[in-house]
Amino acid sequence: MDDWRTGTLRDVAAPKGLVGGPFGSSLGGKDYVASGVPVIRGVNLGSDGYFDPAEFVFVTPEKARELAGNRARPGDVVFTQRGTLGQVGIVPAKYDNYVISQSQMRLRVDPAEADPRFVYYQFRSRAMVDTIRNCAITTGVPHINLGILAALPIVIPPLRDQVAIAEVLGALDDKIAANAATARTAHDLAAAEFARAQAEASAQARLGDVLDLVYGRALPARLRRPGEVPVFGSGGRLGMHDTPLVAGPGVIVGRKGTVGSVHWSAAGFFPIDTTYYVHIKSEKLSFVYAYHMLLNLGLDRMNQDSAVPGLNRSHALAVPVLLPPSEIIAEFTQGVRSLFALRDRLAEENASLSGLRDYLLPRLLSRNLSIHEICGA
C-alpha cells in the first residue's frame, strides 16, 4: 500500500488524451441523422453512473471525420462540462467510434498509468462530485473546463490495485445491470399481458370513477429518519424513512417535476408533496392493473397549468378510460403476479448491491479497506 501516490487527472492521461467537445455551432441539431456515429450527450450519462445508450443521436461518418478531434472510443471516460456537474460515464463497446457533444469532455488514459474503470469509479465517489461542484465556474451556467478537470486531485495506486478495485466494483455494477435488464423484461411481459386484457375493454368510464389521486405529504430530507420505507418523489425513489404514509402495494403519480410519471411500490411507502398516490375506488380494479392503465394514459403530456407546471388532478381524473370485464382484470392480476414479484425482488436486490458498492467505493479509495482483504489475496 506504500506505493500508492496522489496526483492529478493530467498525470494519467495519454498524450492529447484530454479533449473537450466541438466549438460553438460546429455540432448541433442540424447535424443529427437517423443513424451513423453516435453523439455522447449529458442525457447518456445517467445520475446513477450507468452509461445509457437509449438517448443517442447520430451524425454522418463524414461529419464525424470533421470532428476528429472530438472523437471517443470504447474505454474512454466522459465527463459533463456544463449542466449536471459530476456526471461521468465510461464509453461502452456498443459502437467503435463516438463524438462527444459541446457539453462533454473526454479522457483517454495512458494504459501504463491507469485503468480507465478505476478512474471512472474514482469520479463516481461522493467526495469527487463535491470537489467538482466546488471548483465550478459559477458565472452563467455553472461549468468546469479542461484546465479544472485536468487539475483535479486523484489517488493513483499501482496498476494491479486499480484493476482489482475496478473488477470488484464492476462485478457489482454488472450484476445490477443484469438485474435491471431482467426487470425490464418482466415489465415488458406484463405490459403485453395488459395489452391483451385491454383488447377486451368495452365499458366506458372516467378515471375518477375507478380510482382517486390523493396528494402526497411534504417530507424534507432533514426530517427523514433512518428506515426501510422508500420515499417517492415525482422522479421515483429519492430516499428512505422509517414510517410509511401509505400501505403497499401502491402506485405513485408525478404531480410536480416529472409530471405524469408512474411508479410502483410493492411495500408501504411515503409519497411526498410533488406526487399523488392512487386510491382504488372500484372493487373490480387491482393496483397492478391501475399501474399499467396509468402508464398508458399519457399523463406525462397533461402539463396544462402554465403558471405552475404540474399535473392537474381534476383534468387527470376526467380522462376517459375503457375497462374490460372484471373477470379479465382478475385473470390479468393473477397472471402477472409472479412478474411483479420478480421485479420487486430484483429491485430490492439492486438496492442492496448499490448500497454495498457505495459503501466500498470511498473506503477503497481512502485505503481504509484493502482490496486484498476483500479478494483474499
Query: CATH code at 161?
Result: 1.10.287
Q: Are residues 152 and 66 in the same domain?
A: yes
Q: Could you tell me if 172 and 266 lie in one domain?
A: no
What average pLDDT score do residues 22-27 get? 88
112 and 245 co-located in one domain: no
- Same domain (yes/no): 113, 19: yes
Rg (CA), the chain: 24
pLDDT of residue 47: 56
- Considering the domain boundaries, does residue 1 fall inside one? no
Q: Are residues 319 and 334 in the same domain?
A: no
Quick one: pLDDT at residue 308?
58
Within-domain flag for 198:
no
317: domain CATH number is: 3.90.220.20
Is 105 found in the same domain as 63?
yes
Which of 55-69, 173-187, 306-320 shows the lowest mean pLDDT across its residues? 306-320
Say how many domains are in the chain.
3
- Please give the average per-residue pLDDT across 81-109, as a whole number: 93
Provide mean pLDDT across the span 152-170.
95
Is 283 among the domain residues?
A: yes
Looking at residue 84, its pLDDT comes to 86
Burial category of 48 from C-beta neighbours within 10 Å (exposed 0-12, middle 13-18, buried 19 and up): exposed
User: For the chain, what is the mean pLDDT?
Assistant: 92
Residue of higher predicted confidence among 165 and 308: 165
| Residues ≥6 apart with Cβ < 8 Å to 365 | 122, 125, 127, 155
Report whether pLDDT(54) > 80.
no
pLDDT, one tens digit per residue, over 211-250 is: 999 999 999 999 999 999 999 999 899 989 999 999 999 9
**Chosen domain end from 283, 303, 323:** 323
- pLDDT above 90: percentage of residues in the chain: 81
- Averaged pLDDT for residues 289-312: 84
Per-residue 3-state assignment (H helix, E strand, C coil) for the chain: CCCCEEEEHHHHEEEEEEEECCCHHHCCHHHCECCCEEEECHHHECCCCCECHHHCEEECHHHHHHCHHHEECCCCEEEECECCCCCEEECCCCCCCEEECCCEEEEEECCCCCCHHHHHHHHHCHHHHHHHHHHCECCCCCECCHHHHHCCEEEECCHHHHHHHHHHHHHHHHHHHHHHHHHHHHHHHHHHHHHHHHCCCCEEEEHHHHEEEEECCCCCHHHCCCCCEEEEECCEEEEEECCCCECCCEEEEECCCCCCCEEEECCCEEECCCEEEEEECCCCCCHHHHHHHHHCCCHHHCECCCCCCCECHHHHHCCEEEECCHHHHHHHHHHCHHHHHHHHHHHHHHHHHHHHHHHHHHHHHHCCCCHHHHHCC
pTM of the full predicted structure? 0.83
Residue 123 sits in the same domain as residue 243: no
* Domain co-membership, 283 together with 297: yes
Mean pLDDT value across residues 44-71: 84
Poorest-confidence range of 48-62, 75-89, 96-110, 181-195?
Answer: 48-62
pLDDT greater than 60 at residue 377: no
Span 76-102, mean pLDDT?
Answer: 92
In a domain, 268, yes or no: yes
Please tell me the predicted confidence (pLDDT) of residue 181. Answer: 93
The whole domain housing 223 covers: 203-323
Task: Check whether residue 148 and residue 271 sit in a common domain.
Answer: no
Query: Residue 176 falls within a domain, yes or no?
Result: yes
Confidence of residue 51 (pLDDT cuts 50, 70, 90): confident
- Do 11 and 152 fall into the same domain? yes
pLDDT of residue 304: 59
Same domain, residue pair 131 and 16: yes
Average pLDDT for 123-134: 93
Taking only the tens place, the pLDDT of each residue in 199-219 is 999 999 999 999 999 999 999
Strand pairing category for 236-241 and 229-233: antiparallel
Say if 271 falls within a structural domain: yes
Residue 291, pLDDT > 90, answer yes
Asked whether residue 292 falls in the same domain as residue 360, the answer is no
* Structural domain includes residue 165: yes
Lowest mean pLDDT among 38-47, 107-116, 317-326, 366-375: 366-375
Work out the average pLDDT over 6-28: 93
Kindly state whether residue 253 falls inside one of the protein's structural domains: yes
Give 301-343 pLDDT, tens digit per residue: 887 554 557 899 999 999 999 999 999 999 999 999 999 999 9
Query: At 50, is the pLDDT very low, low, confident or very high (cuts 50, 70, 90)?
Result: low
Percent of the chain with pLDDT over 70: 95
